[in-house]
Amino acid sequence: MFHPTVFENIKVSLENQIYDYDNLDGILVVTNRSDLLDLALMSREFNLSFKLAGSSKVTSELVLRSSVKDLSDEILEVPDSVPGCNLLLRFHLEIGDIPTQCSAIEQILTGIWGPELTPVQSLSFPFGSNSGLYTCCVSLAFKRQINEEQMDDLPELLEFLLRSAEELEKV
């Protein structure tokens, strides 16, 4: 019989909670979803993007990854291994005043997530565009892996994610 991996269990839990926020609570709208198996690296990646209901400025993205080592350690039950997943959060928004808005973004996210998660901001713009707007992609990468022991923390993590999106809408 098939035994789901840590990746599958966390993915299903996060996915169910996000879709409940969409379908039952109506507080967000899922805009994209992908569940990828990389056959070259034998790794897994799950992405789920959403916008807050009634908002269009910020797209939030949750990315869950598992490497071939994590998957094989778990499936082969390697002694002394603790299989888990890597979690990355991203926020995409347009900004015009780089010094002011990037500083505000960093303060907001550091205030919500604490100093352990350092926001990394990347700016881009279409070549030839004179609009003065930049696309800002903000990444928050968790420094340690998560596993089934953190399942009870997922609702709180999603609350922080929603709060981050709400605050970034004001930037």
Cut 0.75: pTM above it: yes
**Interval 66-89: pLDDT, tens:** 999 998 998 888 999 888 999 999
Q: What is the pLDDT of residue 4?
A: 86
Strands 86-95 and 59-66: antiparallel
pLDDT per position as a tens digit, 30-44:
999 999 999 999 899
Both tokens assigned to 125: 């713009």
pLDDT of residue 2: 62
Mean pLDDT taken over the chain: 94
**Of 140, 10, 166, 120, residue with least CA distance to 74:** 10
Separation of alpha carbons 94 and 111, rounded Å: 21
pLDDT at 130 over 90: no
* Sign (positive or negative) of CA dihedral 73, 74, 79, 83: positive
